Structure 1
Amino acid sequence: MKKIKLLFSIVLFGLIANSCATEELVYSIPKTKNSNQLSKIYTGFPETFESGSKTSYVAADVTLPTGIWNLNDALIGTLSGDRKNGAKSIRIRNTGTVTMKFNSINGASSVSVLHAKYGTDASSSWELWYSINSGSSWTKTGGTITTSSSTLQTATFPMMINGNVRFEIRKISGGTNRINIDDITIDDNNVSVGGVFPETYESGSKTSYTPAAVTLSTGSWYFDNALIGTSASDAKSGTQSARIIDTGKITMQFDVTTGASSVDIKHATYGTDDSSTWELWYSNNSGSSWTQTGSSITTSSTTLQTATFPMIVQGNIRFEIRKITGTAIRINIDDFSITAYNGTGGSGTGGVDGDHIAMGNPSGATTDITNENNYLMEKVQYKLSYNRSKATANWVSWHLDPSWTGAAPRQDDFRADTTLPSSWYQVGSTSYSGSGFDRGHDCPSADRTSSVADNSETFLMTNMIPQAPVNNRQTWANLEAYGRTLVSQGNEVYIIMGCYGVGGTGSAGSANTINNGNITVPSNIWKVLVVLTQGTNDVDRVTTSTRVIAVNTPNINTTGAWGTYRTSVDAIEAATGYDLLSNLSTSIQSTIEATVDNGPTK
């Protein structure tokens, strides 16, 4: 069984399902009158605008259930041309604004807004801005939204904000064309702790597939294209179970603080429906980003089966089930069980066996999307620090033992990584074409052959760097093969690979960037391998005698035996500024990081 560590945290609102995943910044506009109104805890969200009245576009305050809002070149519309979820919605024209004049004191993990064109008006655009200082300054969050539909659509803005926050909608284009805004929802960071698992779905009631939250015995869950089934055709271990249709999902809106060592979920087809497929996802940044855990599950039995997802997770965690195939086909989900984490880490600052960064997080990468040039991305197969400015990873780290190798063929399905924030540039499969540089893997395809899914994940472009072809196909290919040879000899290896600098030489000559300047070509490519005999308590087993191989090559189109490029970890740290093996004790680090390997190369 693969040993993996999954760190979790989840969106307080399942509306992220339809998200325009967006980037958050910090904003600034002049303070308006009354903007220093005292912070308040509000309970009226979503703000539906049903209780207010404002019939003129003249700037004025309106008192609504959530608090006081300022509407500038905006009114509360009640006409047949107003698109609304009820009897009223906001209507904005020109470059109007809708501004909260109160704070949410619990921050925000996401905001969702319904929007549509008014009547037969043409398209126009708007933005969401936020303030964390009661309106003294403002920052745009996410991308610009173009409203082009005459029916209400949902725009979702994932974010990670703590403490006081307020929001403002700014219409920025379209002139006299008008847009409607309705049902503004703020998912705050007032984290709740879940109740006792398993969740049996026996205590809730939801009879329609319309998205809505349901209070269950463990806490609040968000059901999107899902309901609580009670019919004879619903497969269930009691009188009720969750039923999901199309590409629906069910999302925990609370954290479990005990971590998880595994998750068990019962599943079956509904009635006589055909098979369909679903996945389990997790988030560790309040829903700003999500990562799949384990493999996709195909539900084909009419009786409940148990899907088990082994993991090693510490701290807060929440989950989301996503049905990914089967239009109009339904599945039942029941008895969602989380087994608490009860393991122990290694010495130093942590480290769990099999965790891809058990030896340390070299750059202190985080999953905060504002940390755009050191953004932690956690795949089941590897973890990486992504650099938005360079459009490559700073480093990729992975664990290699026999469980990761098998007979799965090379997939060659190079593709953009759509788990990046959607406002970020995404490198595509052809972005390196004609550049003279290979799409060089960080985590190699051949290190992930236990399943087609594992191999496919190595072809995400976030796992690629522009690499000189000879350097990639000879020097590095030989080093990668040697790493697998070590595993075949009874070892397991913790591997970190990265790049730094600007400017390399490929088959078409030298270049600092490719793809119209979007992708930086590195000057150097490095790798560190920590070699252990197969066993447990991996971090604790690293000693001053542990073999550590450090290699640093120039990114040039010439060949050379990888052994000739051996260096020390200290030297790579000096070049990059990273702390590569930070989970080891400082006394061990001081010895093994200063040593240049002189062991065999074949």
Structure 2
Amino acid sequence: MRFIIGAFRYSVILLVATLTLAACEESGDGVATLAELSMDEISGTTTNCAVVLTARQGMTYTARVVSGYEWCLFGGDNVVVEGTLDSGEDTKSIFLYLKENYTYNTRQAEIFVNFGNGDSYMLLLSQLSADPTVALDKEWAELPRCKKRENFEYRYYTVDKVGSKSNVRNYTICFDITKKASLWVAYPMHSFYLTGSASRQDEFIAEPTIPTQYQPALSRSYRGWYDRGHQIAAADRKCSQEMMDQTFYWTNMTPQQSNFNQNLWGSLEGKVRNERCADTLYVVTGAYFDGVRHSSIDATTNDNAGKACPIPTHYYKLLLRTKKGNTKKAISEITDASELRAIGVFIQHHNSGESTTLKEEYFVSVNELERITGFDFFPMLPDEIEEDVEEQCDRGAWF
């Protein structure tokens, strides 16, 4: 398992080559030498990247940071690394470690790579200025804008390996230490996540990086008729036992009235799963504390340690996906709003009895939920279509 802590100073991305001093040549056994980066421009908060080498087995190489070494170095704070492509490999990644860029200016680093056969490459890396007001910057379509706020803790969770896939993301939280709850949880939904043999262990545990005094103690349920309601459901992560277990962190729980949790909200969770598609469904689930409180819901309850825990007045979900579901396009690549569909569901927290009916009044646009909550949802939408997509509220296109 991997988790990111604090102000998220470490993230991983691969970079692409922009400038070469020599053309690719075959190195004697049909493998052409090549040194490249996966992107020539990275965000100001990207702090870990790699130079990717291709050559025959046994080929030696030297890589040197020739400029920008004040903020860009190889592991161990080295300016130069040397090595050999080992037996059984014809590609190799050499990692660079970067400082976040709060200079308000784009900066560049040059990395010179020389192979044992004489081939050489100059790679140019540009790092944009970081927005000092942003706590977490990831190009994930489900992720709301993560602004730095005094009481907010952002965390995201990944798993090293699921089947043939590596470094698989699970979900992201915006945890409010004053509410002892996450205000939103954002995650991708796809058949990949829903297929597998993982099962509920029902072991509710503390999130490992946020001090426990800020978390609700939930080895057992909240006091009264309030369940430990998952924001990302355990059933949304059947692909991996480790992923499902991460959904049992206390920070993923809020006090949900039992009937509401098990009937109305549980039914909605199932309907959302049915909206998955090959292109991926992007989901934000949230708890809202500042609305009109239903008479059946208390203002607070208590955790296992007797700490008071505020109870949400409303719960919500936001959904975004392609209309066709199989375009193979990233959200950021789409320039026609008609290719996407989006909607919000905003429900007053109440004792819903056995009802599973989703009333028309529950459905709202993304824009409306932004106005209510103050969050900026789906910022990865291209500017030219963002307003049209976020104004959609076509209940008939969903469920």
Work out whether the TM-score is over 0.5: yes
Give the CA deviation at 1:599: 2.1
- Confirm whether residue 573 of structure 1 aligns to residue 356 of structure 2: no
Cα 1:567/1:197, change in 2 over 3 Å: closer
Give the CA deviation at 1:391: 0.5
Q: Which amino acid aligns with 1:378?
A: Y
Give the CA deviation at 1:601: 4.8
Cα distance in 2, alignment partners of residues 572 and 194 from structure 1: 36
Cα distance in 2, alignment partners of residues 464 and 193 from structure 1: 32
1:450 corresponds, among 233, 239, 242, to 239
Cα 1:196/1:587, change in 2 over 3 Å: closer
1:257 corresponds, among 70, 75, 98, to 98
Q: Judge conservation of contact 1:441–1:463 (CA < 8 Å) in 2.
A: yes
Q: Judge conservation of contact 2:226–2:256 (CA < 8 Å) in 1.
A: yes
Cα 1:413/1:517, change in 2 over 3 Å: closer
Q: Which amino acid aligns with 1:446?
A: A
- Confirm whether residue 9 of structure 1 aligns to residue 9 of structure 2: yes
- Confirm whether residue 551 of structure 1 aligns to residue 326 of structure 2: no
Aligned to 1:219, what secondary structure does the other structure show? helix
- Confirm whether residue 512 of structure 1 aligns to residue 296 of structure 2: no
Aligned to 2:9, what secondary structure does the other structure show? coil
Give the CA deviation at 1:598: 2.2
Q: Judge conservation of contact 2:199–2:238 (CA < 8 Å) in 1.
A: yes
Give the CA deviation at 1:592: 2.0
Cα distance in 1, alignment partners of residues 280 and 393 from structure 2: 20
- Confirm whether residue 588 of structure 1 aligns to residue 375 of structure 2: no
Cα distance in 2, alignment partners of residues 518 and 416 from structure 1: 17
Cα 1:193/1:522, change in 2 over 3 Å: closer
Unaligned runs of 5+ in 1: 12-191, 199-215, 222-236, 239-253, 259-283, 286-314, 316-339, 343-354
Q: What CA deviation, in whole Å up to 9, does each residue of 1:523-545 have, x standing for no partner?
A: 01111000222424232237422
Instruction: Provide the residue aligned with 1:112 in structure 2.
Output: none
Q: Judge conservation of contact 1:412–1:459 (CA < 8 Å) in 2.
A: yes
1:497 corresponds, among 271, 285, 288, to 285
- Confirm whether residue 379 of structure 1 aligns to residue 220 of structure 2: no
Cα 1:505/1:459, change in 2 over 3 Å: farther
Q: What CA deviation, in whole Å up to 9, does each residue of 1:487-507 have, x standing for no partner?
A: 2x545200011121257569x
Give the CA deviation at 1:572: 1.0
Cα 1:557/1:583, change in 2 over 3 Å: same
Cα 1:365/1:193, change in 2 over 3 Å: closer
Unaligned runs of 5+ in 2: 12-46, 54-72, 79-85, 88-94, 102-107, 109-122, 126-137, 159-169
Aligned to 1:599, what secondary structure does the other structure show? helix
Cα distance in 1, alignment partners of residues 260 and 317 from structure 2: 13
TM-score (norm 1): 0.40
**Percent identity between the two aligned chains:** 25
Q: Which amino acid aligns with 2:345?
A: V
Q: Judge conservation of contact 1:443–1:463 (CA < 8 Å) in 2.
A: yes
Give the CA deviation at 1:478: 1.9
Aligned to 2:201, what secondary structure does the other structure show? coil
1:526 corresponds, among 296, 316, 320, to 316
Q: Which amino acid aligns with 1:376?
A: Y
1:541 corresponds, among 329, 334, 348, to 334
Aligned to 1:413, what secondary structure does the other structure show? coil
Q: What CA deviation, in whole Å up to 9, does each residue of 1:6-65 have, x standing for no partner?
A: 996359xxxxxxxxxxxxxxxxxxxxxxxxxxxxxxxxxxxxxxxxxxxxxxxxxxxxxx
Q: What CA deviation, in whole Å up to 9, does each residue of 1:73-122 have, x standing for no partner?
A: xxxxxxxxxxxxxxxxxxxxxxxxxxxxxxxxxxxxxxxxxxxxxxxxxx
Cα distance in 1, alignment partners of residues 234 and 50 from structure 2: 41
Cα distance in 1, alignment partners of residues 76 and 235 from structure 2: 43
Q: Judge conservation of contact 1:196–1:217 (CA < 8 Å) in 2.
A: no
Q: Which runs of 4+ in 1 moved over 4 A?
A: 4-8, 192-198, 502-506
Q: Judge conservation of contact 1:406–1:450 (CA < 8 Å) in 2.
A: yes
Instruction: Provide the residue aligned with 1:421 in structure 2.
Output: 211
Query: What pairs with 1:109-508 in structure 2 (closer than 5 Å)?
Result: 218-219=75-76, 256-257=97-98, 357-362=140-145, 364-366=146-148, 371-380=149-158, 381-407=170-196, 408-421=198-211, 424-430=213-219, 432-487=221-276, 490-502=278-290
Aligned residues: 274
- Choose 1 or 2 for highest CA Rg: 1
Aligned to 1:530, what secondary structure does the other structure show? strand
TM-score (norm 2): 0.59
Cα 1:561/1:356, change in 2 over 3 Å: farther
2:358 corresponds, among 557, 562, 565, to 562
Q: Which amino acid aligns with 2:297?
A: S
Q: What CA deviation, in whole Å up to 9, does each residue of 1:422-476 have, x standing for no partner?
A: 5x42222246433211111111111111011011111111111111222222222
Cα 1:440/1:377, change in 2 over 3 Å: same
